[in-house]
A and B are shown apart, each in its own frame.
Chain A
Amino acid sequence: MRSETQFTYSIYVQATPEQVWQGLTDRSFTRRFWRHSTLGGKTFPTDWREGSTWDLVHEDVDLVVSDPEQVILEADPPHRLSYTWHSFTPKWAALAGLDEETAGAWRAEPRSTVAYDLEERGSGVVRLTVTHDGFAPGSRVLPAISEGWPAVLSSLKTLLETGAPLPST
Chain B
Amino acid sequence: LKTIARKNSINIFKKNINSVFIFGLLIVVSIIFSIGSEFFLSLGTLKILMISISTIGIVCIGQTFLLIAGDFDISVGSVVGFSSVLLAKMINLFEITDVWKSILVIILTLTAGAVIGFINGLLVTKTKINALITTIAMLSIVIGLALLISNSLPISLNAPFFIAIGSGTIFGFIPYTLVILLFLYLVSYLLLKRTVFGRYVYAVGANEEAAKLAGIKAGRIKILLFTATSSLAALAGIFLASKTLSALASYGKPYPLITIAACVLGGCRIRGGVGGKGGALGSLLAIIFLMVIRNGLVLIDQPQAIQDILTGIILLLAVFFSEKK
Q: Report whether chain A binds chain B.
A: no
